[in-house]
Amino acid sequence: MAKLDYTFKTDTLFKILFVKYPDLLKRLVAELLNIQIVSIGEFIITNTEIPPEALKEKFCRLDIHMTINGQHVDLEVQVADDHDYPERTLFYWARDYSSALGTGQQYIKLPRTVIISIINFELFDCEDFHSQFETLEVTRHTRLTDRMCLHYFELPKVPFSDSVDNELRLWLSLFKADTEEDLKCLERLEVPFVEQAITAYRSIIATDEFKELERLRELAQHNEASALANARQEERQKWQAIMAVEKTANQAALAEKDATIEAKEIAIADKDAALADKDTVLAAKDAEIAELKSLLGKNVKSSEF
């Protein structure tokens, strides 16, 4: 089966689609947060625009930021695992949370801030595809505050839905869909919001606006990849230079040690040579003494006659 050129995970399409169809977004967020859609009164998308110039910037983030019943809710799709995603989402939360405090306002006025991440990789060592994190005391599990909440939905763990009974699974299956056959399987379920979402998807990918934004986004991602590759290369060269300096220093230290050992070995050899000379002198003297004793013995015998 041929892969789709663009999917619900494509961040430009994700942003355009759900900004253009806020009723679909509201329904999606209600499922992700496990709340009744009728309980949502205030619902405002606060970053509806996608400035083309912003797409050219490195590390551009195409999230959807909303105010829902006084809460700040941020929804993002992340495809690649850069092995720092928990730290990144915590940074996003801290930035969104702290920026909500106006000048002169009390901290108690800070709103509950929720980060929702739909990710195309496995992040946690568990079978559950949904993980929710809040600030809890480690032994009593007492909540410190209700102001922080992080949701992660891991798409690889989501069973592809063939049932109309689980709306959350249907939504995540839309994001999980990578082929035209996947979309057709979902369409055959004849679920109105699924059909509406797929129709909106097909409409958007056919527009020149989307194609141009996607071209700019792909260029930005290419530049981002190049920047990261260059940064890694510079870091690699930096460490290679440090290692070369350390290697040179180690070689110099070893050479100095070798020279010291060689000097000691020469000194020991000189001492051994001196001792050998002494032994030779002593042996010569012993020979002279032995010869003198022999001569003395002969003279004594001669005098007896």
Work out the average pLDDT over 175-188: 94
User: Is 5 part of a structural domain of the chain?
Assistant: no
Work out the average pLDDT over 86-105: 90
Could you tell me which residue, 120 or 241, shows the higher pLDDT? 120
The parent domain of residue 129 ranges over: 11-206
The pTM (predicted TM-score) of the whole model is 0.73
User: Is 292 part of a structural domain of the chain?
Assistant: no
Give the pLDDT confidence score for residue 288 in this predicted structure: 79
User: Is 219 part of a structural domain of the chain?
Assistant: no
User: Is 259 part of a structural domain of the chain?
Assistant: no
Work out the average pLDDT over 37-48: 95
What would the pLDDT profile of 123-162 be if each residue is shown by its tens digit? Answer: 999 999 999 999 999 999 999 999 999 999 999 999 987 7
User: Is 4 part of a structural domain of the chain?
Assistant: no
Give the pLDDT confidence score for residue 103 in this predicted structure: 75
Q: How many domains does the chain have?
A: 1
User: Is 233 part of a structural domain of the chain?
Assistant: no
Q: Are 125 and 85 in contact (CB under 8 A)?
A: no
Give the pLDDT confidence score for residue 54 in this predicted structure: 64
User: Is 169 part of a structural domain of the chain?
Assistant: yes
Could you tell me which residue, 264 or 60, shows the higher pLDDT? 264
Residue 302's pLDDT band (cuts 50, 70, 90):
low
User: Is 249 part of a structural domain of the chain?
Assistant: no
